[in-house]
Amino acid sequence: MTLDQLRIFVAVAERGHMTKAAELLGISQSAASAAIRSLEQQHGVQLFNRVGRNIELAQTGRRFLPEAKAVLERAAAAHDVLEHVSQTITGSLSIAASQTIASYWLPRRLASFHEAYPAVRLSVTIGNTRQVETTVLDGTADFGLVEGRTESDILRRAKVDVDRLMLVVAHSHPEIAEVSRGHPDIRELRWIIREGGSGTREVLEDLARREAISFADLRIFLVLPSNEAVRQAVEAGAGATIISELVVERAVAEGSLRSVSIDLPKRDFAMITHRDRQASLAQMALKAHLGAKAGETARG
């Protein structure tokens, strides 16, 4: 006895017609007849009475029908279980992220991803945009999350969010009156900046070009390796910086930092992946979870 024989038996029983049952199942009438005949012969029973061109259930067939349906229902349930298991997303993901994203934007999103996909193991490394790009290119990371420009044509880039930048100084900054009036002269500010390769440093470099100022002519006082170090130095009155709102919004709200009015571009938070590597199910799930918009592949 096979599941196919049971399906044919149930279909014929419910329709009372061999040809209609065969059409429903997408098989020939002769194949349906052969399956019923084989089932009857295997067990030495008569399941149907032939009445003209129609057939009706014999007594044995009426007793057998609910059992056949139950077996098919259990088989369908078992199939669903195996389908679910095969589609459960497992594995591990290695993520490289720039400091702003890793410290302020990513943690809550990874926590909610873990709730949805608890079988996926996650690991995160932190670096500046250039370092993240390198780890994706050499395969150390499955994908990266950056806010700065990427250079390689081998990378795909997909936007996941937008970041707002701020120029901030300490509330007690000695030049606060001057920088608060109109458009500040960036040559007059003493700058606290991140290392080369960071996204925020690129913004200051772009701003200098826009103002037709050589970056070398800016008053660079401190170059620091982390957003937190930059923020604390600025809060201490050491100078000004351009930094993500995510990093300084609490300090601005509490009054230890003051935002200076200046026209700064918004920047994209972007996921970068290697064009020549096939994405795993786990990677596709996380990309969808983070809201990455497909199709944005240009370098930025």
CATH of the domain at 284: 3.40.190.10
* pLDDT at position 295 over 70: no
Do 97 and 8 fall within a single domain? no
Place 89 in a pLDDT band, splitting at 50, 70 and 90. Answer: confident
CB neighbourhood size of 230 (10 A): 28
Do 118 and 71 fall within a single domain? no
Range of the domain at 203: 165-265
pTM above 0.85, yes or no: no
Q: Would residue 222 be called left, alpha or beta, if left means φ above 0 and alpha means ψ between -120 and 50 degrees?
A: beta
For residue 11 the two structure tokens come to 């279909």
Do 261 and 274 fall within a single domain? no
Cα gap 214→80, rounded to integer Å: 65
Does residue 296 lie in a domain region?
no
Do 52 and 109 fall within a single domain? no
Domain boundary among 83, 103, 130: 83
Domain boundary among 33, 54, 83: 83
CA 199 to chain centre: 22
Phi and psi at residue 251, in whole multiples of 5°? -65, -40
Number of domains in the chain: 3
Does residue 218 lie in a domain region?
yes
Decide: 193 and 222 in contact? Cβ < 8 Å. Answer: yes
Do 255 and 276 fall within a single domain? no
For residue 217 the two structure tokens come to 């002519």
Q: What is the pLDDT of residues 99-142, one digit of tens each?
A: 999 999 999 999 999 988 888 999 999 999 899 999 999 999 99
Task: Give 260's contacts (C-beta < 8 A, 6+ positions apart).
Answer: 166, 167, 168, 169, 179, 180, 184, 240
Q: Which letter, b or e, does each residue of 205-214 get, where b requires 16 or more Cβ atoms within 10 Å of its Cβ?
A: eebbeeeeee
Do 78 and 205 fall within a single domain? no
Domain boundary among 37, 54, 83: 83
For residue 12 the two structure tokens come to 């014929």
Does residue 295 lie in a domain region?
no
Q: Looking up tokens 């096939």, which residue turns up?
A: 278
